[in-house]
């Protein structure tokens, strides 16, 4: 199982939110690229970057931070937040990201995603679903969709999507453990699914559970910044 550390960027700084609430912003580091370098030095190979300003504004805002990270490290970066146009996808990939992460757009505008999949290789897309009681929420978890995660995944697979990540909204940012039960059900329903766990990881035991459940990767954010999990432990894992 691959460990994917997370960097959330707001105003050019590395921050974390609780339950996606912008009022809960906590700044951890002024230089996201320096944080990324620490991850690389610990032997990690992937990085999940979220442009929170972009998500809020509806357009990519922190492309320079992405360029700094990809120019100063060899990490394989996925980047999301505010990506609404094909030009945004091209700009993010040109800035050095290996994948574009998308959430709300895949639900709200699947026909647009299909265009992008035809223009760019499907492996360049990392499709995320924020879930509460199996229902996908969008627009920063504010909007209900009525779409069940178990119906969404096969529709995305039919379009050619390969890489998925799933966040249980009830778990995110609380350091109370991931939604291992949900991930087990998804992997039983879709054998061989390339599924990345996201949200709630607070201990090495959580990561062991996710690996045993069959997750391809796990995104770890707040647990690192709050020193619940050390980079040395992740390196050994």
Q: What residues are annotated to the active site?
A: 8, 130
3-state SS class at 128? strand
Please, what's the b/e burial string for 65-85 (b: 16 or more CB within 10 A of its CB; e: otherwise)?
bbebbbeebebbbbbbbbbbe
Q: At what angle do helices 63-72 and 32-41 cross, to 10 degrees?
A: 30
The angle subtended at Cα 91 by Cα 89 and Cα 92, nearest 5°, is 65
Element containing residue 211 per DSSP (H, E): helix 204-213
**Is the separation of the CB atoms in 175 and 188 below 8 Å?**
no
What values do phi and psi take at 205, rounded to 5? -60, -40
């Amino acid at each position: 199982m691959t460990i994917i550390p997370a960097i959330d960027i707001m105003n050019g700084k590395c921050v974390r939110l609780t339950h996606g609430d912008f009022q809960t912003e906590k700044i951890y580091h002024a230089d996201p690229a320096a944080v990324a370098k620490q991850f690389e030095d610990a032997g990690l190979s992937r990085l999940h970057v979220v442009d929170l300003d972009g998500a809020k504004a509806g357009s990519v805002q922190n492309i320079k931070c992405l360029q700094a990270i990809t120019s100063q490290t060899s990490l394989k970066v996925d980047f999301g937040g505010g990506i609404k146009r094909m030009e945004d996808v091209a700009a993010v990939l040109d800035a050095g990201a290996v994948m574009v992460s998308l959430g709300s757009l895949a639900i709200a505008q699947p026909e647009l995603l299909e265009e992008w999949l035809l223009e760019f290789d499907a492996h360049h897309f990392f499709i995320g679903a924020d879930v509460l009681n199996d229902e996908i929420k969008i627009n920063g978890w504010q909007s209900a969709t009525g779409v069940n995660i178990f119906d969404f995944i096969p529709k995305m697979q039919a379009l050619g999507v390969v890489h998925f990540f799933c966040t249980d909204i009830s778990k995110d940012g609380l350091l109370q453990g991931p939604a291992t039960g949900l991930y087990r059900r998804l992997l039983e329903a879709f054998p061989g699914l390339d599924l990345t766990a996201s949200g709630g990881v607070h201990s090495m035991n959580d990561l062991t559970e996710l690996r045993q459940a069959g997750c391809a990767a796990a995104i770890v954010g707040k647990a690192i910044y709050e020193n619940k999990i050390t980079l040395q432990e992740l390196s050994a894992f």
